[in-house]
Amino acid sequence: MADSEVEFLTTKSAGNIEPRCEGLNRWPLRSLPSLLDIKNNSKLTESITVLLREIVQVVEGSFLSGKEHDELAVPYAAASDLMSDVLAFSKPRAVLLTGLANTHVIHTAEMADIVAIIFVRGKVPAAEVISLAEEKEIPLISSPLTMYELCGRLFQAGLAGCDLQAKA
């Protein structure tokens, strides 16, 4: 297998699917319960809180503003480029992953009680956006990773998504 190739294997033991990635060891994968286990066991969908500084490490990100808020406890993550979906489906105290880097994101985050914004794919907003976020005390983080990868990593870290059935 060439260095750039990745082979994905799964093994099944005791009802759990254990993904293994050979050839690429960028991020440790935890044992994933089956979809049936998740649907039938509410404990598997309960959220824990993760400190913002730990989230920054998990997403290989860096603070653009608001580093002084790195001790914030974050229980949820939401990911969207549609700010109407953020308003409709996010939960208070969630971190928002988005590819949008304009002032609308900051205003939406304020209205939805989003505690921090992570810009995907290495995006860095304009100075006016960063200034507005500082004024509203909303930390901004930039990560070089895609939204898909960030969602997976935050799930691995224990953050729950914003469930469509149960709005907090």
Residue 133 · residue 65 · CB < 8 Å: yes
Tell me, what's the pLDDT at 24?
Answer: 42
Residues 116 and 131 in one domain: yes
d(CA 110, CA 10): 42
Tell me, what's the pLDDT at 162?
Answer: 83
Residues 83 and 148 in one domain: yes
pTM assigned to the model: 0.73
Residues 67 and 136 in one domain: yes
Tell me, what's the pLDDT at 47?
Answer: 56
Q: With left for phi above 0 and alpha for psi between -120 and 50, is residue 108 left, alpha or beta?
A: alpha
d(CA 91, CA 115): 10
Per-residue model confidence as pLDDT tens for the chain (168 residues)? 444 444 444 444 444 444 444 444 444 444 444 444 544 545 444 558 899 999 999 999 999 999 999 999 999 999 999 999 999 999 999 999 999 999 999 999 999 999 999 999 999 999 999 999 999 999 999 999 999 999 999 998 888 888 655 444
Domain range holding 12? Answer: 7-43
Residues 28 and 54 in one domain: no
d(CA 58, CA 77): 13
Residue 120 · residue 143 · CB < 8 Å: yes
Tell me, what's the pLDDT at 19?
Answer: 46
- Whichever domain contains 153, its CATH number is 3.40.1390.20
Residues 67 and 121 in one domain: yes
Number of domains in the chain: 2
